[in-house]
Amino acid sequence: MQIKNRFLALLTYSEKYTKTDMKYFAHGNFWLFFGQIIPTAVGMILTIAFANLLSQEAFGTYKYILSLAGFLGAFTLSGIWTSLLRDVAQGRDGVLRPAFRLTLKWSLLASAGALVIGLYYLIKGNALLGISGITIAVATPLLNASSIHQAFVSGKKDFKQFANNRVIQSVVSVTAMIITLLLTQNLLIIILVYFSISVFMSMSLYQFTLKKYKPKDTKIPEESIRYAKHLSLMGILSRFADNLDQLLMWHFVGPAQLAIYTFAKKPVTELQNVIGNIFPLLLPKFAEKDPVEIKKTIPLRVGQSLLFVIPVIIGYIWFAPLFFKFLFPQYMEAVWYSQILVLMLIFFPKGFMGSILTAHAKIKEQYVLNVVGSLTKIIILFVLLPKFGILGAIIAIIGHEFIYTLMLIILFFKKDNDTK
């Protein structure tokens, strides 16, 4: 207790320099870090299993199917996640079940699209992609609707439960996938197990959330539904851009190159997720406070995050060859691509500004950011990926991050000038 009290006193003392509720941050960040590091670790174990048990061509096809599911997921009410989080953070717990039903309903369009794609591939004689498409059609509504339990828990600021949910889901899912890989390399069975276990775990955790919090059903505010629709509409373009690189890679340069590209991205993505734990903490706080007052702290936050991120980038570039040699020796070709891609983390501070826009429903600004940023990525991908392959995709990602960050800064300064 003496150590704990001294630690709390130190956190309180540091607040006059960090301008942050350090007790909230330390408690929440511990659980979010726990909820990220365990899934990251078991995810890397699964990636090692894929690297050793599947050929590059088979793994590339597996990633293509998952990218297809991600692309179709754009045509759902994906914005309900953020809208629900805001509602719960503002005390409206009873919107959970209505949000589930609404998400289920709005996922039917994506299911229809997946069904059409599945039937198309079956007619063409490709049973793997055909059955995979039908599987996506069945799984998409259930996955999208049940996954909102995490938005509810985040809005409640119950970061311990948020972390536990992620850990349980990742450990069970990865264990099931590794057992499957050890028993068979049949790609269709692997796909079926992936979607089945994902639906089962997500639905189970949704039911657990209902039992734990017992929210009494209330009508979703019309403002929240409109905001969710706006976020979903602008998300179509960004989700398309996020999955386009893998879809084009599979079609233009083949599944083997897609596998190499995936392994180049995997460590950087996981690193980005770990250091990005701060933003789920900030979103409920931002939703409660005046955006004008929050924006005054942005320069400090940007400086603090750059002091942290730059050493991380340098360290990754230095250790990446050893990391790949030890864990993914079959994919040493991916090392230098990964070293280039990690430079995108220099744009990490943009998350502070983006969180403010999201928390306070700045719809116009978010439309501009999503449209301009996504179109930039899409154009660069179509121009460079067919010619330069993996390098073209990496240039598109970094170019998108640069344009998005630049536009975000411009919108913030413009807003300040208008206020003056």
Question: Which is higher by pLDDT, 208 or 238?
Answer: 208
Please tell me the predicted confidence (pLDDT) of residue 5: 52
Domain contains 354:
yes
Give pLDDT tens digits for 165-176. Answer: 888 999 999 999
Domain contains 7:
no
Helix axes 255-275, 22-53, angle to 10 degrees: 160
Residue keyed to tokens 């229809």 = 112
Q: Tell me how many helices (H) and strands (E) the chain has.
A: 19, 0
Tell me the residue type at 120: Y
Q: Could you tell me if 338 and 265 are in contact, meaning their C-beta atoms sit under 8 angstroms apart?
A: yes
Domain contains 144:
yes
Core vs surface per residue 173-183: b (16+ CB within 10 A) or e: bbebbbebbee
Give pLDDT tens digits for 217-242. Answer: 888 888 888 888 887 887 788 788 88
Please tell me the predicted confidence (pLDDT) of residue 13: 42
d(CA 114, CA 109): 9
Domain contains 10:
no
Q: 156 phi and psi, to 5 degrees?
A: -75, -5
Q: How many domains does the chain have?
A: 1
Please tell me the predicted confidence (pLDDT) of residue 17: 45
Domain contains 281:
yes
Domain contains 6:
no
| Domain of 74, in residue numbers | 19-419
Domain contains 9:
no
Question: Which is higher by pLDDT, 200 or 294?
Answer: 200
Question: Which is higher by pLDDT, 171 or 31?
Answer: 171
What are the start-end ranges of the H helices in 124-186?
127-146, 149-155, 159-183
As a whole number, mean pLDDT of residues 145-155 equals 88
Question: Which is higher by pLDDT, 340 or 78?
Answer: 340
Tell me the residue type at 151: A
Instruction: Examine the pLDDT at 195 and tell me if it is beyond 70.
Output: yes
Residue 164, token pair as written in the block:
């536990």
As a whole number, mean pLDDT of residues 88-109 equals 88
Please tell me the predicted confidence (pLDDT) of residue 358: 62
Domain contains 199:
yes
Total-model pTM:
0.76
Please tell me the predicted confidence (pLDDT) of residue 334: 93
For residue 95, which of 103, 306, 260, 317 has the smallest C-alpha distance? Answer: 103
Instruction: Examine the pLDDT at 287 and tell me if it is beyond 60.
Output: no
